[in-house]
Structure formats: structure tokens, C-alpha cells
A and B are shown apart, each in its own frame.
Chain A
């Protein structure tokens, strides 16, 4: 995969506040064309907000108070609603986790795939129809021209997610944000959808931001990983080193929670002690220190996101000791 000089998406030092609480705290990330970046973390860690801010879709209460978001080198934050809606669905697009609810129940699925084409390219219904059916066939919908005339209730959840992907990719966007795209699907369908997304990024060339809490999905699909906790990136880098040797205790514990087929039967599932504290009660310094087995006095100071390997960075004072953590 060729990585051009200008990254498709570059988020630099992004800060998002909601009602005086800093929900996203100086987050930076960048993504080359055709790459898949996974943003991982528990609920409430700021991963969705970070991704939604790219499309200007933050909830009303949220304010971007600092930083920059660039899509193909163009700064998005100063853009108005009209310019943003030109970009959405066209250059950058999103798929949500509930495929069935994301489709209008009273509109034929083919029309819904066409909609972005008609809105952004001004194609007539007939011209858009052909492209829509081709894209539906491309995402693995058998007998696409017949399916295009069906309504969402006639399709399975997996089919609906394929339709959503076809609708999202119809304008060949530079960036696709996938917000937990497989959460609502059963495991076999999940695998098919992941495989489809892997195929398509080569084909369409879209860079993908994958928001998930499922480490299995990350290992399967992503090139790079960003682990977020408490609104900050705690570890980032290519998938392999992070899975082989995580350098932040949170990543390590997150990986340890994945059940394996080896080992004793009836072993209790591993969990991370405690709960994600809410934004009002985030501790000073390292935000994971209230749950971290390695925490000591040093952690009262905020650790910087420091390089620990090629392209690999972790924000922990004790990153050298993480490996020893059981």
C-alpha cells in the first residue's frame, strides 16, 4: 500500500470539552491512504467523539477547544455546515453499528445506496441505479439487481450491513469511519463483514478508521492501533508490536481479557478491576492510575506519549515494566 506524503486524515492535538470536562485531551493521530486504524477503548474513553469530530457530528454540548483536523490536507474545523455536508458521504463517510436501524424501512435498499450519488454527483436515478447495483454486487450481495428493489425488512442483518457499506462507499470516499460495524452482527457474519472491509480498502482505496472495543476485530483487520483511555491516547503503533509486547498496562490488561482456548476449563474470565471513572472524577496525572497494578507516586504526574519502538508510543512512566505484568 503506497502511503502518500499527505495523510488522508491527520488529527493534531485535538481537544474536546463537554460542559467544562475535557472529554478528548490532546489527541493526535494520522492515517495514510488505504490504511486501517483502529481506535480501541472502553465505553466513555472518547473514541467515538474523536471520530465523530472529523465529520462535524459532535453532540451540541461538545466544543472543540483546540487542535486541528485535516482531511487530505484541508483543515476541517473552520468549515461551515454547508461545506461539511459536501464532504460527508462524499469524501468522508461513516457506518454505524445498527445496520437495520440505519436503513429507512420504507425505502428500497437500492435507492438508499444511490442516495449519496444523487446528492453529491447530481446523477439521475437511472445513471445512479447502475452504479448502485454494481457496488451492491461488489460488497457481496447476490442477485443485486433484484435485491435493490427489496425493502430492508426483507434482508438479514448481515445483508443490511453490506448495503450500508455499499451506500457508504458508493462515492469512493477517501475516509470511512466505521463505528463498531460488527457489534450487532453474529460472529460468522462478523467475520464475513471484516473480510469484506479488508478486500474493499484495496479496491476502493479508502482509509478506514475503525472504532471498536473488540481486540479480536483489531487483530483481524487493523494496520495501526490507537488505545484510548480517559480521553487520551495511552498507546499507539502498528498492530504487531502492540499485540506482541504492549507497553502500557491498560493495553496489556485489555489483551489479557480476551478469553483463549488454552488453559484450564472453568477459569474465571479476566477483567480489569474497577470501572472507567466518569469525566468529572478523572484523576490527576495518569488517568489509569486508579485501576493500574503498576501505579505509584510517579503516576501523579501526567506521563507523555513517548516512543518505545519504531512507530510505537506509550504514555506510561513504567512502560519498561509492563512486560513483566501478569
Chain B
């Protein structure tokens, strides 16, 4: 960035459409997930064996396949709409769970120091040194695949990210006179951490959380693709990709369209994350 002063406001400063349009896409997907029963033209699990693997626009018996049909004649559009529920529920729940656990542990480690710090941060190092996907696969294999287990597994593998950022942020905030003052005025550790430290580090944590959200959507799809996520017949973008893969040469829409949705959602989430980060970066305030 050049040091020359520009007469125009910094393009990153505004709340303008330029930075925030990706949020509209995310909102669209969220609305689609919430109102799936009203938006989806058909039951996502209703089969029509005569209308198998029909291209987009085909009409077969009572079905009008706007985005084609899959190998059991189910409506791809309806399955995509219902599939967004799985993606979003898993991503939201795992981000909230891992964010809460990781942030709390990171804050405690940085505030308590001593052996608490050593134990927590070394465990974080261990977790970060294991490939997350591998850990997830092993855990799901042991626990058995289900929606709840996918959420637990993602939370289990992702909390160290939050712990690290919360740890480093807390270290610096904890040296501020107002935190020391609150502590010496008789406020207990819980009160100091949640009333004085947390509000001052939540910005950094929420940036990580937004970026993680996109990653969680991908992870869920990845686990479902491997058959370790939600089980058939529940629609999920990952499992649609997985089964659609077999027909990609003859019926490209079965795998391509959910893949495209995945791509657009993750891109939109990441761009939103960037906008959030720039918004919270003091240099751009």
C-alpha cells in the first residue's frame, strides 16, 4: 500500500455493497435452509424411478426437474435446498462449540499462566500437529457417522485455532492496567475474563470464526463425501457429490450443481470473513 495520501476514502472503510455483497449470498443460503419446506418444489427423498438422471428442465410424471434428477429420480433442486440445512447446521454448531471451548481454554491459559498454560497450549500444539481430516475420519469411524457426531468431531479438531488466537490476544489484554485493576479490585477470574478480557478479544476471535465457518462447510461436505457424515437418504451437498461422481460423465448436473453451491457459499463466507477482518482491523478504522 502506498504511503501517498488519497483524497478518496479508503475503499475498505465503507459499509458499501462493494465489501458486503457476499453477506447477501450467505443470507440467501440461510433463508433457503430455514424455509426449505416452503421453497423446495418436492420432497427431497421422493423417488421417481422412471425419471432417473434426467437433465435440468425435464418433466417426468408429476415432477418438473428444474435442475435435473439424480439416480433415484429425486429432484436435485429440492435436495440442494434441503442439503443446505445440513451444511449450515453443522457449520454453525461446530463453530459455536469449538469457538466457545477454544476461546475459554485459550483465555484461561493466558490468564492463569504457569502449568495451566503449559498443559493447554501443549495440547493445542499436539492437536494442530495431527492432520484434522485424519483425526476426524478416525473419530467418526469410532463413534459412528451421524449429524451430531460430525459436529462433535469438527469441534474436537478445530478448537485449537480459537485457543491460540484467544491465548495470544489475552496475553496482551491481560497486561492492560484496566484488567489488572479489575482483578485487584476484587473481581474473580471468571468476572475478569468474561467482562473485561472477552469483549476486548472477541473481534479477533470472530474473524477466525467466520473463516472457520467456510472451512466447516467444506469439512462437512468432505466427511459426507467419504460416507462419514449424514447418512442416506438425508440430503447433504457432500453426499450428493459423492453419489453424483459415479454419473458425472453421463449426468453432470447431479454432482456439479451441489458442488457449485458449495463453492459459492464457501467463497461468500470467506469474502465476508475478509470484510469482517478489515472492518475490525484498527488500521482501517
Kindly state the separation between the CA atoms of A184 and B196 in the bound complex, as whole angstroms: 23
Q: Which residues of B contact A55 (CB under 8 A)?
A: 184
B176 within 8 A of A: yes
**A–B complex contacts, Cβ < 8 Å, 16 sampled:** A55-B184, A57-B184, A88-B184, A89-B184, A94-B181, A96-B181, A98-B177, A101-B178, A104-B179, A105-B200, A107-B195, A107-B196, A107-B199, A115-B185, A119-B185, A119-B186
Q: Which residues of B contact A107 (CB under 8 A)?
A: 195-196, 199
A240 within 8 A of B: no
Q: Please state if A102 and B185 are interface contacts (CB–CB under 8 Å).
A: no
Q: Please state if B177 and A102 are interface contacts (CB–CB under 8 Å).
A: yes
Q: Which residue of B lies closest to A99 (CB)?
A: B177
B182 within 8 A of A: yes
Kindly state the separation between the CA atoms of A103 and B196 in the bound complex, as whole angstroms: 10
For window 89-123 of A, CB contacts with B under 8 Å fall at 89-90, 93-94, 96, 98, 101-107, 112, 115-116, 119-120
Question: A104 and B196 in contact (CB under 8 A), knowing A96-B177, A98-B177?
Answer: yes
Q: Which residues of A contact B185 (CB under 8 A)?
A: 85, 88-89, 93, 115-116, 119
B226 within 8 A of A: no
Choose one: A57, A94, A106; the contact of B200 (CB below 8 Å).
Answer: A106
Given contacts A102-B181, A106-B199, A119-B186, 10 further A-B contacts (CB under 8 A): A55-B184, A89-B186, A90-B186, A94-B181, A94-B184, A102-B178, A103-B178, A104-B200, A115-B187, A116-B186
Q: Which residues of A contact B187 (CB under 8 A)?
A: 115, 119
Closest 8 CB pairs of A and B: A89-B185, A85-B186, A106-B199, A102-B177, A104-B178, A101-B177, A119-B186, A89-B186
Chain A proximity of B195: nearest CB distance (Å): 8
Kindly state the separation between the CA atoms of A89 and B186 in the bound complex, as whole angstroms: 7
Seen from chain B, the residues whose Cβ lies within 8 Å of a Cβ on chain A are 176-179, 181-182, 184-187, 191, 195-196, 199-200
Q: Please state if A85 and B184 are interface contacts (CB–CB under 8 Å).
A: yes
A199 within 8 A of B: no
Choose one: B182, B184, B186; the contact of A104 (CB below 8 Å).
Answer: B182
Q: Which residues of A contact B195 (CB under 8 A)?
A: 107
Q: Which residues of B contact A98 (CB under 8 A)?
A: 177
Per-position contact with B for A171-214: 1 when CB-CB < 8 Å, else 0? 00000000000000000000000000000000000000000000
Choose one: A57, A101, A115; the contact of B176 (CB below 8 Å).
Answer: A101
| A-B contact number at CB 8 A | 50
Q: Which residues of B contact A120 (CB under 8 A)?
A: 186
Q: Which residues of A contact B186 (CB under 8 A)?
A: 85-86, 88-90, 116, 119-120
Kindly state the separation between the CA atoms of A111 and B196 in the bound complex, as whole angstroms: 12
Chain B proximity of A177: nearest CB distance (Å): 11
Kindly state the separation between the CA atoms of A119 and B186 in the bound complex, as whole angstroms: 7
Kindly state the separation between the CA atoms of A171 and B182 in the bound complex, as whole angstroms: 14
Chain A proximity of B250: nearest CB distance (Å): 58
Q: Which residue of B lies closest to A106 (CB)?
A: B199
Seen from chain A, the residues whose Cβ lies within 8 Å of a Cβ on chain B are 55, 57, 85-86, 88-90, 93-94, 96, 98, 101-107, 112, 115-116, 119-120
Q: Which residues of A contact B176 (CB under 8 A)?
A: 101
Q: Which residue of A lies closest to B195 (CB)?
A: A107
Chain A proximity of B279: nearest CB distance (Å): 16
Kindly state the separation between the CA atoms of A85 and B186 in the bound complex, as whole angstroms: 4
Q: Which residues of B contact A102 (CB under 8 A)?
A: 177-178, 181
Q: Which residues of B contact A88 (CB under 8 A)?
A: 184-186
Tell me which of B182, B186, B200 has the highest count of chain A C-beta atoms within 10 A of its own C-beta. B186
Kindly state the separation between the CA atoms of A106 and B196 in the bound complex, as whole angstroms: 8
Q: Which residues of B contact A90 (CB under 8 A)?
A: 186
Q: Which residue of B lies closest to A86 (CB)?
A: B186
Kindly state the separation between the CA atoms of A119 and B196 in the bound complex, as whole angstroms: 14
Chain A proximity of B196: nearest CB distance (Å): 5
Q: Which residue of B lies closest to A120 (CB)?
A: B186
Q: Which residues of A contact B177 (CB under 8 A)?
A: 96, 98, 101-102
Q: Which residue of B lies closest to A96 (CB)?
A: B177
Kindly state the separation between the CA atoms of A112 and B181 in the bound complex, as whole angstroms: 11
Q: Which residues of B contact A85 (CB under 8 A)?
A: 184-186
Kindly state the separation between the CA atoms of A105 and B179 in the bound complex, as whole angstroms: 11
Chain A proximity of B94: nearest CB distance (Å): 27
Q: Which residue of A lies closest to B187 (CB)?
A: A119
Q: Which residue of B lies closest to A119 (CB)?
A: B186
Kindly state the separation between the CA atoms of A225 and B199 in the bound complex, as whole angstroms: 42
Chain A proximity of B263: nearest CB distance (Å): 37
Kindly state the separation between the CA atoms of A115 and B186 in the bound complex, as whole angstroms: 10
Q: Which residue of A lies closest to B178 (CB)?
A: A104
Kindly state the separation between the CA atoms of A99 and B182 in the bound complex, as whole angstroms: 14
Chain A proximity of B111: nearest CB distance (Å): 15
Q: Which residues of B contact A101 (CB under 8 A)?
A: 176-178
Chain B proximity of A167: nearest CB distance (Å): 8
Chain B proximity of A174: nearest CB distance (Å): 15
Q: Which residues of B contact A106 (CB under 8 A)?
A: 199-200
Q: Which residues of A contact B181 (CB under 8 A)?
A: 94, 96, 102
Tell me which of A57, A90, A115 has the highest count of chain B C-beta atoms within 10 A of its own C-beta. A115
Kindly state the separation between the CA atoms of A90 and B187 in the bound complex, as whole angstroms: 12
Tell me which of B181, B187, B196 has the highest count of chain A C-beta atoms within 10 A of its own C-beta. B181
Q: Which residues of A contact B200 (CB under 8 A)?
A: 104-106
Kindly state the separation between the CA atoms of A116 and B199 in the bound complex, as whole angstroms: 19
